[in-house]
Structure 1
Amino acid sequence: MEKNDNFKSELEVQYGILIEANEKAKKQRYIFLLSLVCLTFISVLVSVFFSYKALDNSNKINKGEKESINTNYLTLSTIFKNGNDITINNIDNGYIGIPKEIQITNDGDTDITFNIKISSIKTTLISTNNLVYILTKNGEEVANNVLPLQEKIIANEVKISPKETITYTINTAFNGILEQNNNTNEYHANITIEQNNNKGNLLE
């Protein structure tokens, strides 16, 4: 009788061990599945995020969302803010143009020189005596003259050191009095940066 009781007790112990082991295995499977679900969810979120960023960047490129024009030639790089053109339509008394800012950087490792010129001029004006431009370099006025009727260099042989950035601003204005019924009052031109070493033009 005592042997049967001992055997029964041993079976109960073994059964308890099996039940406990089974519970542990269930918990481990549950933790594994939960971890797998979390990792999958995070991967989906990351994939959606980068897909959205790629689509957003693509849309920006297709829409041409750009506040400035960047160019690079030889060792000079330039940023034209508000465009690289001088466009004046229907000039009126008291006209003041939008300032054109140009940032010029020497990306090379030696001193170089460059020119700034007004080119590709198209105008209905016979004279530009009252249509003027003011050129500033790093905030300091360096030129004050009438806009040309033919291609003209407005900053000549400007030296720029390696890694240096020079900022120019071109302001235009009309300081005269227009005659009545005068419809010949348009002026269009390009602002060109020319690196002298190889006579290479930036945004010709």
Structure 2
Amino acid sequence: MKRIKLLLLLPVLVMVLLFSAMNYKPKKVIFFGDSITQAGVKPGGYVDLIKKDLDPAKYEVIGAGIGGNKVYDLYLRMEEDVLNKKPDLVVIYIGVNDVWHKLQHRTGTDYPKFIQFYQALINKMQAKGIKVVLCTPAVIGEKKAGANEMDAELDKYACAIRELAAKNNLPMADLRKIFTGYDQENNPENAEKGILTTDGVHLNEKGNRTLADTLLPLIK
């Protein structure tokens, strides 16, 4: 009798499993940023490494980086490149150009505007039920002990992101702390580049791996 009941229930169980499989959607993760993220989707880039480290059946990984972008550029293209894609989680990695371009082109982002636009990004994403992970900008030059020209300004903007993370109760990858700490321990010749970056800003193989390993626990 029990065997007959089991046989009768079997088709129902199969249908339930099939229905569950058909309706299962992988977690959609978008990496939103500048040229570091744009390069991150290439083989060996941090987005590519994360994608390979995650189960493709459980995660859909999308890179949305554009070279030269600052925080207000992200705000302007957020609707098309993020919100319309309906992600579950967004990793925001921005801030280097907001500081760097002050020196290079005098087109950086003033500190109050940086905070204003960054908070607006968070607000719009959270209003759509999207989980948000913040990242502090890592380095503009890899010399130790604050010897790079933009270190003080970059520290200021990184501190702003830490405060935004605390204010909004958001997880954060403190890349500024991680990268400068690594450079302090692994840059005996006090080189400006070549430790975690190719040019003082953009990531080399070790830099991409470090970033991927830092972000993975915040995504899972």
TM-score (ref. length: structure 1): 0.29
TM-score (ref. length: structure 2): 0.27
Q: Which has the higher contact order (CA 8 A, sep 6+)?
A: 1
- Whose radius of gyration is greater, 1 or 2? 1
**More helix, by proportion:** 2
